Structure 1
């Protein structure tokens, strides 16, 4: 099967800042120089757009060789910040606490590969999707599991805590050890622990390639996810600005530029 993802070269946060430094883009949604941004009243800190992610979801967010947050989500967040006329600042937090941190106003948005679900929509509002992917089952090469239909109560399937995969697998088995990171779950599977892991298809593929994990994907996609930016409920102006920013970076070609650093195909298309 054709590899869907690219081998990742570390992308420093400094490079992302250069890419998205607040400037004099006439199409930016922000205010004029010295006048601040019209979105300041909706953000935790004036002049900044602070967005949360786990930093443990390579290639979407990870710590690079310079000890800085990098990845597709980081670059998308910085590009959105530029369009809002704000300084982008990624904020690392465990995924299972990420919505609580948003509600506690520790940051302005979640740009951490969060899928839209009905349950999450009860507590946060979502932007338009900024990429599409899906849940995939991974096993070791000597496994007898050929797809999700082979999973039953005797199958131990590891997942990252707080993800949609954790609730999804309950329809098949409740034997579900959890990890703080999908990547650590995949590493544990490769090391001989557990029978399978469910994670994002792209995350599994890139980590097999980059880390040489002795695992493989089996079966079809279990479902398709729409990944979006999450904000606190009733922040309608900020949400509208984010949606406009996403539209702008697609039209300008910046989205394609960021996408091509990490993937061989456009993950922004359903």
Structure 2
């Protein structure tokens, strides 16, 4: 009798252990399933990157001083901005080049994560890509000789001799103020005629003029407000919302703590977001 009782107790214990094991196994499966679902949800909010842990960003590499090659290395204002953004986002920066005429197609083809290459924000481009907040401002600017104190705004351009690059929209702007317009094959040639007094003013892109001041040490200066504004942004693929969000946050933090201005001063001796 005792032997039978012992056998029955042993069987009951084995059944209990089997049932407990099944429940534990099922619980583990459910836990794993829940964790997997959670990870998938998390992945849905992660940045979509071409290379894990890396921010790959593109420019033409031919737009000095914004992006160009020096001693075989890609450098410039755009590159410094991209490197700093990546660092603040906890990513490794990787600057690459792509021909400008196909740079948006390269982004759509996932050759890189972002375009940081001095791209103007336009409705046509915004239909294809998502833009960050502007990271610098350009546009049509009046430049005069450094010694010129008579022209301080667009109102002072009336009947003055104005230089513009030929076949440009700047000529249309100049025609609003004077008939004395001289056309040049390049903006730089026009700007070079300001210090000797052969021109009263030049209307050109703000950054072209500033670059001439820094690179060629021309004794010229910008005056008045922009005749029209050109906002420059960084582009990411449509729908890559988390990447866009983090780039905007990193940019805002750079501006707030003064890092942006340091980079801008390095290349232009001024804050080009203002």
TM-score normalised by the chain length of structure 2: 0.59
What secondary structure, in the 3-state scheme, does the structure 2 residue paired with 1:42 have? coil
Return the match for 2:57 from 46, 51, 54.
51
The residue that corresponds to 1:239 in the other structure is 244
CA distance in 1, matches of 2:95, 2:203: 26
The residue that corresponds to 2:66 in the other structure is 60
1:97 and 1:73, CA in 2 relative to 1: closer, same or farther beyond 3 A? Answer: same
Instruction: Assess if the C-alpha contact under 8 Å between 1:48 and 1:87 holds in 2.
Output: yes
The answer to which structure has the higher helix fraction is 2
Computed over aligned residues only, the root mean square deviation of the Cα atoms, in angstroms, reads 4.0
Structure 1 residue runs of 4+, over 4 Å off?
37-41, 168-172, 184-190, 215-222
Number of equivalent positions: 203
Instruction: Assess if the C-alpha contact under 8 Å between 1:125 and 1:232 holds in 2.
Output: yes
TM-score normalised by the chain length of structure 1: 0.60
Where does structure 1 lack aligned partners over 5 or more consecutive residues?
Answer: 1-36, 139-146, 160-167, 173-183, 191-196
Shift of 1:80: 0.6
Shift of 1:69: 1.2
Return the match for 1:122 from 122, 127, 131.
127
Where does structure 2 lack aligned partners over 5 or more consecutive residues?
Answer: 1-42, 144-156, 174-184, 192-201
The residue that corresponds to 1:157 in the other structure is 166
1:19-38 matches, within 5 Å, as: none
1:87-106 matches, within 5 Å, as: 87-106=92-111
What secondary structure, in the 3-state scheme, does the structure 1 residue paired with 2:52 have? coil
CA distance in 2, matches of 1:126, 1:223: 20
What secondary structure, in the 3-state scheme, does the structure 1 residue paired with 2:85 have? helix
Shift of 1:200: 3.2
Deviations 1:65-117 (A, max 9, x none): x2211111110000111111111111112222211111111110111111111
What secondary structure, in the 3-state scheme, does the structure 2 residue paired with 1:128 have? coil
Bigger-Rg structure (1/2): 2
